[in-house]
Structure 1
Amino acid sequence: MRALVGVDWGTSSLRAARLGAGGEVLEERSSARGILSVPAGGFPAVLQETCGDWLGGDALCLVSGMAGSRQGWQEAPYCACPAGFAEVARSLTWITPGRIALVPGLSCEERGLPDVMRGEEVQVFGALGRLGLQDGTFVLPGTHSKWVEVQDARVRSFSTYMTGETYALLRQHSILARTLPAGDGAAPDEEAFTRGVREAQAAGSLLRSAFGVRTLALFERAAPAALASYLSGLVIGEELRARAPLPREVVLVGSPALTARYALALRTLAWDSRSIGSEATWHGLWALARTLETP
């Protein structure tokens, strides 16, 4: 297979990897040059600065993430679900024909409302390959958490939950901010976090349960340092409540810190999960490149 460079270009950061013929990561680099820091017309120069020495000869470069958005390098139209490797490969937006392409992202619709993702689809495809799966429910935690349903190695549908953003808004810009400590700490207070997860199930509404963060502090029924973990448990617990009943097992894809929180929340509710990290992105881009080069 041709030399392959994979690029995960997000809003606030850029990651690049030089991949071997079997999908192994030969070298990896990262930069703070997310799309919001790149001026109009500046994307080729930033890519060259980051990994230009990898792009010689006939190397193929596949770029996933927000670089394909309207605010990015060039808008790559979404590929409609259901979609697998073949549909995504046919929908690539080529910056340099045969050499540099933007992965399109996916769209789906539920009750007349569209939903979209950029970059997460590559992680799902990578997780499928790494774990040897064809079907399953995949959860990608983050600012906008994604729940993805896969059947026969094709994304059938997905849903977005603004869990991380809701946590940040409540934590920083609501009345709760006056109660919460300045920092979250490296790891959650597990007792407070799981208490929040359970309360989300019992209350049945985050609008009802969130104010309890303040009243627990007012009546000194929770340590101030534990309240951020309690709030985190509430919002993640609300996401899980909205998804119930869950399948027997879900696959968590993302950073170790976030997937660990979700795994703890799932265990609290007696649901099973397994996790895979950033290597899913590189494996997904490698598998997509193989699709391009397989007759």
Structure 2
Amino acid sequence: MTDVEWIAIDWGTSNLRVWGMNANGRAVREATSTNGMNLLARDQFEDALMALVSTWLNGPTIAIACGMVGARQGWMEAPYSTVPCEPLGEGIVKVPTQDARLQMHILSGIKQTSPADVMRGEETQIAGFLALNKDWDGVICLPGTHTKWVHVSAGEVVSFQTLMTGELFGLISEQSVLAHSVTSEGWSDAAFEEGLSTAMSRPEALAARLFNIRASQLLEDTAQDTGRARLSGLLIGAELAATKPYWLGQNVAIVGSAPLASHYTTALRGQGVPVTETDPVAMTVAGLTAGYKKLKGIT
């Protein structure tokens, strides 16, 4: 016998993370694997999940998942809800399973038709933040490979914007000429702040300022950790310039992992923006718990 009442699942492109939740809403089991969505065919998802949770199941057990598991190429596509909408929208898709002990469900993502945009997984973190911060209005920033800026009001997602800043950082630092001038670790606060200021004041000059990183390393032997921080500052600065209508004059909550979330906090506070940092894992579990309550009709 176990004390697991239901199972919370965060299933992304690269990783799978699960929590066994007890009747008091506390995680009493936890497991992870690298069986992300991109490694699995549709008929392999159940086996990948059961490899982690089968010993937790006493009988029919509800499982709630968020993330890319609900994408078109995932276990089963969970349709998008359209903004404006509550973070968890209207759709919780039930997935047929071979093992009768597993009652599998996937939370829907959110879409915006104009300008076209989508999110899948982040809506659950937003739901978790709102569950823990009642009556909160403002903007939630979710830094990552594809950073989301989300306007929230009266418990609904009103609009959002996705920026590929994290992916651009990875591509430029690893596959461009700047790979020779940027280290994979190390940091310079001064270089970050200089890049941030440069890009925010003149975002149209970003391409030229990027090559300055390479030129400075060749001519002045600039340290690679300085190049890394300056590249991050330039890209995040360009992002803040593009998203100014979202954060200017707003309360902003950051839902992201360190150290990236801290860089966004530093950048925003430098603009006089009040920022609240939160734990992304806690927000995910709180959001999945909100999904479980919605499925069970618990208020």
For 1:290, which of 283, 293, 297 is the aligned residue? 293
Cα-to-partner distance string for 1:34-85 (whole Å, 9 max, x where unaligned): 1112234100101100112234323210110000112211111111111216
Secondary structure at the residue paired with 1:41?
helix
Secondary structure at the residue paired with 1:256?
coil
The separation in 2 between residues aligned to 1:232 and 1:78, in whole angstroms, is: 32
For 1:144, which of 142, 146, 149 is the aligned residue? 146
Is the deviation greater in 172-181 or in 157-166? Answer: 172-181
Which residue in the other structure is 1:120 paired with? 122
Which residue in the other structure is 1:207 paired with? 207
| Structure 1 residue 221 displacement after superposition | 7.5
For 2:177, which of 171, 175, 178 is the aligned residue? 175
Distance 1:60 1:294, change over 3 A: same
| Structure 1 residue 141 displacement after superposition | 0.5
Task: Extract unaligned runs of 5+ from structure 2.
Answer: none
Q: 1:231 corresponds to which letter in structure 2?
A: L
Q: Answer yes or no: is the 8 Å Cα contact 1:123–1:281 preserved in 2.
A: yes
Which residue in the other structure is 1:195 paired with? 194
The separation in 2 between residues aligned to 1:37 and 1:7, in whole angstroms, is: 17
Which residue in the other structure is 2:110 paired with? 106
Distance 1:204 1:221, change over 3 A: farther
The separation in 2 between residues aligned to 1:217 and 1:211, in whole angstroms, is: 10
Instruction: Give percent identity, aligned residues only.
Output: 34
Q: Answer yes or no: is the 8 Å Cα contact 1:148–1:159 preserved in 2.
A: yes
Q: Answer yes or no: is the 8 Å Cα contact 1:5–1:61 preserved in 2.
A: yes
Task: Extract unaligned runs of 5+ from structure 1.
Answer: none
- RMSD between aligned alpha carbons? 2.0
Distance 1:267 1:221, change over 3 A: farther
Q: Answer yes or no: is the 8 Å Cα contact 2:107–2:291 preserved in 1.
A: no
| Structure 1 residue 101 displacement after superposition | 0.7
Secondary structure at the residue paired with 1:156?
strand
Q: 1:101 corresponds to which letter in structure 2?
A: H
The separation in 1 between residues aligned to 2:129 and 2:59, in whole angstroms, is: 30
| Structure 1 residue 290 displacement after superposition | 1.1
Q: 2:193 corresponds to which letter in structure 1?
A: T
Which residue in the other structure is 2:241 paired with? 241
Q: Answer yes or no: is the 8 Å Cα contact 1:5–1:55 preserved in 2.
A: no
Which residue in the other structure is 1:223 paired with? 223
